[in-house]
């Protein structure tokens, strides 16, 4: 990690740590350096460091455990890129994937609506930061996918519904695999970025109906992209007609 200049903000401290986690390919539960070590590595004060850590914790990228240390959170970058996600999608047919996407639309539409009602200001700010990172990763699917899925999980958690979050996480591996299949199609990442901004604005306005509409519009686009990806794979002989 590079030292952070004194005039830089906590967000840049957070970005340096995030890059460190990505370079080291830290997995959920892996331990990060101590606060003292991080302040020495970044050449910043403890106050600035803790502000940066709070940003990362709000995004779900780290977990600070009192008396234990700092650990990679369940949304660490490596989590989205692990091989198990691919095999999850390969086990189900296109018909089942369509059903999965339909369930995803139901869950995320409700989550967006509830988030507009119950999300904390800090959670709204976290969604804005993640959406910005999505926009900065449009030329790199390997970064876009973790940012995109982090956005969706953060939104679902912002709904305040523990049951909804658990249901969403239950199918999460398959959602990541589906994203890998569609993300490289022309225009998909750019459209997703615009959709996410619209969802964030609706949640920030505390408008449940608009948030639901924007989430449904986004997921309709995801379903359309999946059909395009499926058609492309069929042309290459990668998907059998019997599976459709």
> pLDDT of 78-130, one tens digit each?
555 444 444 444 456 788 888 988 999 999 999 999 999 999 998 999 899 99
> Which residues are within 8 A (CB) of 109 and not within 5 positions of it... i.e. 6 or more apart?
212, 215, 216, 219
Q: How far apart are CA 131 and CA 195, in angstroms?
A: 10
Q: Domain check: are 44 and 135 in the same one? A: no
Q: Domain check: are 42 and 122 in the same one? A: no
pLDDT at residue 236 is higher than 70: no
Q: What is the band of 183 on the pLDDT scale with cuts at 50, 70, 90?
A: confident
Q: Name the domain count of the chain.
A: 2
Query: Residue 27: inside a domain, yes or no?
Result: yes
pLDDT at residue 200 is higher than 90: yes
What is the domain extent for residue 65? 10-78
Among 140-144, 193-197, 239-243, the range scoring the smallest mean pLDDT is: 239-243
The mean pLDDT of the chain is: 83
Query: Residue 3: inside a domain, yes or no?
Result: no
Query: Residue 107: inside a domain, yes or no?
Result: yes
Q: Domain check: are 127 and 152 in the same one? A: yes
Of 46, 78, 110, the domain-final residue:
78
Q: Domain check: are 169 and 85 in the same one? A: yes
Of 47, 78, 109, the domain-final residue:
78
Note the pLDDT of residue 61: 80
Rounded to the nearest 10°, the torsion over CA 127, 129, 133, 134 is 20
Query: Residue 1: inside a domain, yes or no?
Result: no
Mean pLDDT across the stretch 165-180? 82
Of 34, 52, 78, the domain-final residue:
78
Q: Domain check: are 112 and 138 in the same one? A: yes
Q: Domain check: are 99 and 138 in the same one? A: yes
Q: What is the band of 242 on the pLDDT scale with cuts at 50, 70, 90?
A: very low
At 124-163, the pLDDT tens digits run: 998 999 999 999 999 988 889 888 988 998 999 899 998 9
Q: Domain check: are 186 and 232 in the same one? A: yes
Q: Domain check: are 216 and 97 in the same one? A: yes
Q: Domain check: are 48 and 142 in the same one? A: no
Query: Residue 194: inside a domain, yes or no?
Result: yes
């Amino acid at each position: 990690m590079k030292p952070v200049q004194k005039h830089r903000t906590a967000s840049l401290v957070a970005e340096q740590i995030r890059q460190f986690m990505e370079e080291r390919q830290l997995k959920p539960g892996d331990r990060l350096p101590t606060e003292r070590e991080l302040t020495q590595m970044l050449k910043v004060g403890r106050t600035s460091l803790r502000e940066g850590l709070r940003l990362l914790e709000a995004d779900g990228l780290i977990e600070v455990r009192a008396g234990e240390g700092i650990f990679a959170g369940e949304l660490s970058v490596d989590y989205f890129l692990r091989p198990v996600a691919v095999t999850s999608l390969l086990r189900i047919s296109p018909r089942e994937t369509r059903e999965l996407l339909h369930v995803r639309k139901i869950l995320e539409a409700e989550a967006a609506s509830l988030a507009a009602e119950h999300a904390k200001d800090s959670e709204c700010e976290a969604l804005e930061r993640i959406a910005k990172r999505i926009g900065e990763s449009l030329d790199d699917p390997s970064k876009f996918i973790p940012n995109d899925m982090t956005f969706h999980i953060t939104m679902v958690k912002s709904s305040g519904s523990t049951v909804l979050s658990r249901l969403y996480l239950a199918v999460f591996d398959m959602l990541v695999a589906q994203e890998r299949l569609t993300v490289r199609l022309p225009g998909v990442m750019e459209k997703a970025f615009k959709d996410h901004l619209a969802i964030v604005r609706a949640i920030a306005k505390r408008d449940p109906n608009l948030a639901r509409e924007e989430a449904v519009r986004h997921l309709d686009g995801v379903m359309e992209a999946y059909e395009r990806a499926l058609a492309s794979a069929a042309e290459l002989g990668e998907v059998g007609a019997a599976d459709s």
